Structure 1
Amino acid sequence: MSTLIYATYWTCTLLLIHIFIGYPAWIWLQARLRPQPIHRQAITPTVSIIIAVHDGAHYIQAKLANLGTLAYPRDRIEIIVACDGCRDATARLAERFGDPRVRVLKYVARRGKAACLNDAIATAQGEVLLFTDVRQKLAPIALRELVANLGDPEVGAVSGELLLADARTGFAHSVDAYWRYEKLIRYAESQSGSTVGVSGALYALRRELYWPIPHGTVLDDVLIPMHVVASGSRVVFEPRALAWDRMSQQPVEERRRKIRTLAGNCQLIQLAPWLLSPWRNPLWFRFVSHKLLRLLAPWLLLGLAATSALLATRHLVCALTLAALTAGALLVIAGRLLPMLGRWLPVRLAVAFYYLNLFAAQALIAFARNRGLHLW
């Protein structure tokens, strides 16, 4: 029994190291030792900007005004706003905005973002599709920077960078710490080949590489680029194409979005089981390491805590592990009880790690209980 517990301890330890340290380090080394350059070109293909929105009346006019500031030939842009069962004035405000490039698609019944994307793209005329959400503000050069990457014939899709602003609480600073870590991984993936996903707030795609996605798909910003990679093209990251959003200030604000996103990874396997095949998915190792194993991390942590507690009096390494886990838990408690400590880096990292894994555990349970995820 002791041998089994010890084996379980090391299995949990090694998998956790791979998820949070090993894989990022491996992908970083690949980017440094075997970089794959992107041959950018100053091109101006026609672009269809796609915005799928549900009840976005508070944002739609500001969004359309922001799109009007893009440093790109106006006559080479069309804007399609797909209103998914909007009960507010989103469609009316978009129609009255006064920009002849704007075309509004109105759907009475709420069907979800994926269905709206499929319908909007079926009517799109542009050579390039630009996906963006209604809430985020884009930098004027964002579109030009994205399209320049598509000047490389090997690149099929390119993600912009989402910047989270207005961190006023300790939790917000922990979200910022995690997002910076995540973007470093995505940048290294891009430099060494292809990223596993893109930022749904801003990304561009060659029109001919779009495959209609199943209705109800939650992570269109993962499934669409995975289809691009499967077709033989690269998916890259462009840090100069910026979008801004407001970050969550408290866990309750972040919880629903994060659980839905993490549960979406489970849904991907249900919708596209080929993603689990090393022979059909060129990014199989990256997909499993970056997306799927993170869903197992909270259960691995529980296993690590239990086995290290059982073996703490017999093995020094287990005692040290238990001490480290206890110290991390105390940092999280301190961060919650004393908000002024929230900006201290160790506390930020501990809080981010705790909530990432808490939400991952809740996401797996939520998906197991109900596989019909929310449309938005």
Structure 2
Amino acid sequence: MSVFLEAVTLAATGLAAYHHAVYPALLRAIARRENGTAEASRRDFLSTTADSDLPTVTVLVPAYNEEKTIAQKIANVLSLDYPADRLELRVVCDGCTDETYAEASRAVEFDEQALDRVTIVNCLENRGKTAVLNEQIARCDTDLVALTDTSSILAVDALLLAAQHFADWRVGVVSGTYLLMEPGSAGEAAYWRFQTALKAAEARIGGLIGAHGAFYVIRRSSFRPIPADTINDDFVIPMCIAADGLRTVYDPNVLTYELDGTSLAVDRQRRKRIGAGNMQQAIRLVGLLHPRHGGLAFAFFSSKFLRAFMPLILVLAWLGSLALAPTSPVFAVLAAGQSAGYLLAGLVHVAPGLPWGRVGRAVHYLVQAHVANGIGALDYLRNPKRGPWRRIAT
């Protein structure tokens, strides 16, 4: 029994260390040997003969109770540096119970040019984001579809830079850098800096591992409907396209700004939902682990697949170390280190106002993220069915 417990504990500790430290370091080392993303040509709002070579694009904005931000979002999309005759905007109000539809309509009613380019769909029933995406992407007749959230603001050249990658017929998805204007905490800010660097490195070795729902672009012909109960659609859609053999591109010059600040409570709720989605996609997209996917399989296993099971792995590593500590100096050190980390996270949580420093707040954010991830994963395993989306109040 002792040998088995030691093996399980060492395996769990090794996987945790690999996921959090070894893999990011290895990824950076590999990525340094690869060429960076080439900068796309710029249009700078000046119409040229080359405009006719740009693909046609539908910007699709699913909205549920977004009355405060929908007008701003419409104005942002219509101000992008992209030929007006090749850009359409489709806003889909998914059974909203507030004034989202009225605000969206008012935003374009006195602008004749906008009326020609904007379609506002008012669905009386709240069916959920996945149903909206499956239905509305099928109705688009443009070359590309750009998916974006109402709370995000796109840089003026974001669509232009993203669209130019599709001149390569092998490209199926393009995403870029997600920037928080007002991070809810220092830990959240550090987490997103880390994730941005990781995503850029992953893209260089095997392709983009998922996208961020704030903004990404797909080749319309490469889209296939996803299951109605999909949780993390911004991961599943790109990965299904990648599984069909098309490239997924990360361009750090494509910038999206998230304007909504988030409290720790809101971030925990979001992490629970993402945790449920992580478990769902680990089960449903297990085929991406096949060696034929090369670097994509390596990155998927090391990042998203392990993340789904990481709360369980961490618990096994900690409890196993505690059980073995009395008889082994090695496990005693492991148990002490893990216990200290969890104790620090607990103290920061209980007394957030004290000067804990960057390390303390980063440890706290990481631990509470794994807790929320674990709760979400258990919720999904207990009840895989989910209803339509519900906006998390900020």
TM normalised by structure 1 equals 0.91
Query: Partner of 1:235 in structure 2?
Result: 248
Structure 1 residues 56 and 177: alpha-carbon distance in aligned structure 2, compared to 1, 3 A threshold: same
Matched, 1:56 2:66: yes
* Residues 116-125 or 72-81, more deviating: 116-125
CA distance, structure 1, for counterparts of residue 135 and residue 9 of structure 2:
50
CA deviation vs aligned residue, 1:304-331 (integer Å, no higher than 9, x gap): 2222222223322212212211221232
**Equivalent residue for 2:126, pick from 85, 93, 110:** 110
Q: What amino acid sits opposite 1:166 in the alignment?
A: E
Are the counterparts in 1 of residues 229 and 386 from structure 2 also a CA contact under 8 Å?
Answer: yes
Structure 1, unpaired ranges of 5+: none
Are the counterparts in 2 of residues 260 and 374 from structure 1 also a CA contact under 8 Å?
Answer: no
Alignment of 1:302-313 (within 5 A): 302-313=315-326
Q: What amino acid sits opposite 2:254 in the alignment?
A: A
SS at match of 1:150: helix
Q: What amino acid sits opposite 1:363 in the alignment?
A: G
Are the counterparts in 1 of residues 345 and 360 from structure 2 also a CA contact under 8 Å?
Answer: yes
Query: Partner of 1:204 in structure 2?
Result: 217
CA distance, structure 1, for counterparts of residue 156 and residue 138 of structure 2:
27
* Residues 239-248 or 18-27, more deviating: 239-248
Query: Partner of 1:67 in structure 2?
Result: 77
CA distance, structure 1, for counterparts of residue 260 and residue 85 of structure 2:
34
Q: What amino acid sits opposite 1:21 in the alignment?
A: A
Q: What amino acid sits opposite 2:384 in the alignment?
A: R
Are the counterparts in 2 of residues 189 and 195 from structure 1 also a CA contact under 8 Å?
Answer: yes
CA distance, structure 1, for counterparts of residue 247 and residue 135 of structure 2:
25
CA distance, structure 1, for counterparts of residue 283 and residue 332 of structure 2:
40
Alignment of 1:140-151 (within 5 A): 140-151=156-167
Q: What amino acid sits opposite 2:168 in the alignment?
A: D
Report the alpha carbon displacement of residue 198 of structure 1 after superposing the two structures with TM: 0.5
CA deviation vs aligned residue, 1:182-237 (integer Å, no higher than 9, x gap): 11111001122302101110011112111122223221111111122122221121
Report the alpha carbon displacement of residue 35 of structure 1 after superposing the two structures with TM: 4.3
* Residues 132-141 or 17-26, more deviating: 17-26
CA distance, structure 2, for counterparts of residue 272 and residue 328 of structure 1:
32
Query: Partner of 1:156 in structure 2?
Result: 172
Matched, 1:80 2:51: no
Are the counterparts in 2 of residues 91 and 106 from structure 1 also a CA contact under 8 Å?
Answer: yes
Matched, 1:30 2:30: yes
Query: Partner of 2:155 in structure 1?
Result: 139
Query: Partner of 1:10 in structure 2?
Result: 10
**Equivalent residue for 1:257, pick from 270, 274, 278:** 270
**Equivalent residue for 2:55, pick from 45, 57, 64:** 45
CA distance, structure 1, for counterparts of residue 152 and residue 99 of structure 2:
19
SS at match of 2:177: strand
Report the alpha carbon displacement of residue 62 of structure 1 after superposing the two structures with TM: 0.8
Structure 1 residues 239 and 340: alpha-carbon distance in aligned structure 2, compared to 1, 3 A threshold: farther
Q: What amino acid sits opposite 2:334 in the alignment?
A: T
Structure 2, unpaired ranges of 5+: 43-52, 109-113, 390-394
